[in-house]
Structure 1
Amino acid sequence: MNIGIGLPIGDPTTLPDWAQRADAGPFSTLGLLDRLVYHNPEPLVALAVLAGATSRIRLQTEVLLAPLRDTALLAKQAATLDRMTGGRLVLGLGIGGRDDDHQVTGVDLRTRGRRLDEQMAMMRRLWSGEPYGDDIGPIGPAPARPTGPIVLFGGFKPAALERVARWGDGFLSAASPSWAGDLFDTVRTFWKKYGRDGEPRIVAQVNVALGPQNVIDDARTNMHAYYTFTGMADRMVAGMLTTPAEIRTTIAAFADLGADEVMLYCYGLDPSQVDRLADVV
Structure 2
Amino acid sequence: MPVMEPDLDAATLKAWAQLIDEGPFSSLCWGERIAFTNPDSLTLMGALAAWTDRVRLVTTVVVPQLHDPVMLAKGLATGDMLSGGRLTVGLGVGGRHEDYNAVGADIATQTMRDMADSVAVMKRVWAQEKVTDSILPVGPPPLQTAGPELMVGTIGPKTIRSAAPWADGLAGTTLDLDVDKQSELFDVARTAWAAEGKQSPRLATSFWFAMGDADEARAQVHAHLLRYMNWIPAEFVDAMAPTTGWAGGEDDLLEVLRGFEAIGTDEIHLIPTSSDINQVRRVVDAIKDVYPLPV
Q: So what's the TM-score if we normalise by structure 2?
A: 0.86
How far apart, in 2, do the equivalents of 1:161 and 1:271 lie? Answer: 34
Question: Which of 84, 92, 95 is the matching residue for 1:94?
Answer: 92
User: Counterpart amino acid of 2:200?
Assistant: E
Q: 1:90/1:237 Cα in 2 relative to 1: closer, same or farther (>3 Å)? A: farther
**Residue of structure 2 equivalent to 1:222:** 224
Note the residue ranges of structure 2 that are not aligned, 5 or more in a row. Answer: 288-295
Q: Give the CA deviation at 1:216.
A: 5.5
Aligned-partner SS, 1:125: helix
| Counterpart for residue 199 of structure 1 | 200
Query: Which digits, 9 at most, give the CA deviation of each residue in 1:145-177, with x for residues without a partner?
Result: 121011111112344202431111110110232
Could you say what secondary structure the match of 1:96 adopts?
coil
| Count of matched residue positions in the alignment of Structure 1 and Structure 2 | 275
Report what 2:293 is aligned to.
none
Cα shift readout 1:80-134 (whole Å, capped 9, x = no counterpart): 1101111111111100121111112222223222221110111111101111146
Using the alignment, how far apart are the partners of 2:3 and 2:17 within structure 1?
Answer: 11
CA contact (8 A) 1:153 1:172 kept: yes
What is the CA-CA distance between 1:12 and the residue it aligns to? Answer: 3.3
Task: Please show how residues 14-25 of structure 1 align to structure 2 within 5 Å.
Answer: 14-25=12-23
Tell me the equivalent position of 1:3.
none
**CA–CA distance in 1 between the matches of 2:39 and 2:134?**
36
Deviation of 1:137 (Å): 4.5
1:240 maps to which of 209, 220, 245: 245
Equivalent residue, structure 1, for 2:65:
67
Higher RCO (C-alpha 8 Å, min separation 6): 1
Q: For the Cα contact (< 8 Å) 1:44–1:61, is it kept in 2? A: no
**Counterparts in 2 of 1:219 and 1:48: CA distance versus 1, 3 Å:** farther
Shift of 1:270: 0.5
CA deviations 1:193-233 (Å, max 9, x no partner) are 1111x210011102111136766644431232112325653
Residue 260 (1) aligns with residue 266 (2): yes
- In the alignment, which residue of structure 2 is the partner of 1:157? 156
Cα displacement string for residues 44-84 of structure 1 (whole angstroms, at most 9, x for unaligned residues): 21121122111111111111111111100000000011011
Structure 2 equivalent of residue 186 of structure 1: 188
Alpha-carbon distance between aligned partners in 1 of 2:244 and 2:142, rounded to the nearest angstrom: 38
Q: Which amino acid aligns with 1:228?
A: N
Do the aligned residues in 2 keep the contact of 1:224 with 1:237 (CA within 8 Å)? no
Letter in 1 for 2:80: D
User: 1:127 & 1:165 partners in 2: Cα distance?
Assistant: 19
Superposition deviation, residue 273 in structure 1: 1.1
1:74 counterpart letter in structure 2: L
Instruction: Output the CA distance in 1 between the equivalents of 2:127 and 2:196.
Output: 20
Q: Cα gap change, 1:134/1:195 in structure 2, threshold over 3 Å: closer, same or farther?
A: farther
What letter corresponds to residue 46 of structure 1 in structure 2?
L
Q: For residue 8 of structure 1, report the CA deviation from its aligned partner.
A: 4.1
1:276 deviation in Å?
A: 0.6
Tell me how far apart the structure 2 counterparts of residues 239 and 179 of structure 1 sit (CA, whole Å). 15
Counting aligned pairs with the same residue, the percent is 32
CA distance in 1, matches of 2:33, 2:147: 24
TM-score by length of 1: 0.90
